[in-house]
Amino acid sequence: DTGVSQDPRHKITKRGQNVTFRCDPISEHNRLYWYRQTLGQGPEFLTYFQNEAQLEKSRLLSDRFSAERPKGSFSTLEIQRTEQGDSAMYLCASSLSKDPAGNTIYFGEGSWLTVV
């Protein structure tokens, strides 16, 4: 049983550098989500894809952030010119849009970003 996979699990970067995270969803899932979680807070929605189409973006997703899902399978989240405020855990999740039991969203282990 392969769940949602994220890479890398941890990343330390200097302020101003670019970072990229990769997410591989559960294989039959056509929806893919990115969330951000800071210490002491619940996850906050960033963006989601249905197949390769990016259907919704949060206003939290500044122009330094870009997400892609070119072939409707894996996705990447890139943060350009990182700032200390970007330090957080970035969670990827996936679901099946026609889930008869409701839109159950399954999360990966997360990618921790520390900007120094």
Partner 1 sequence: AQSVTQLGSHVSVSEGALVLLRCNYSSSVPPYLFWYVQYPNQGLQLLLKYTTGATLVKGINGFEAEFKKSETSFHLTKPSAHMSDAAEYFCAVTAGYSTLTFGKGTMLLVSP
Residue span 61-90 as binding mask against partner 1, x where in contact by CB under 8 A, dash where not: ------------------------------
Cα dihedral: 34, 39, 40, 43 (round 10): 0
* Separation CA 116–CA 110 (nearest Å): 19
What is the rounded distance in angstroms from the CA atom of residue 9 to the CA atom of residue 72? 22
Decide if residue 56 touches partner 1 (CB under 8 A): yes
Q: Is 108 in the site for partner 1 (CB under 8 A)?
A: yes
Of the candidates 16, 79, 15, 17, which has an alpha carbon nearest to the alpha carbon of residue 47? Answer: 79
Binding-site member from 43, 79, 94, 115 for partner 1 (CB under 8 A): 43
Q: Is 25 in the site for partner 1 (CB under 8 A)?
A: no
- List residues binding partner 1 (CB under 8 A): 4, 6, 33, 40-45, 48, 56, 91, 93, 97, 101-110, 112
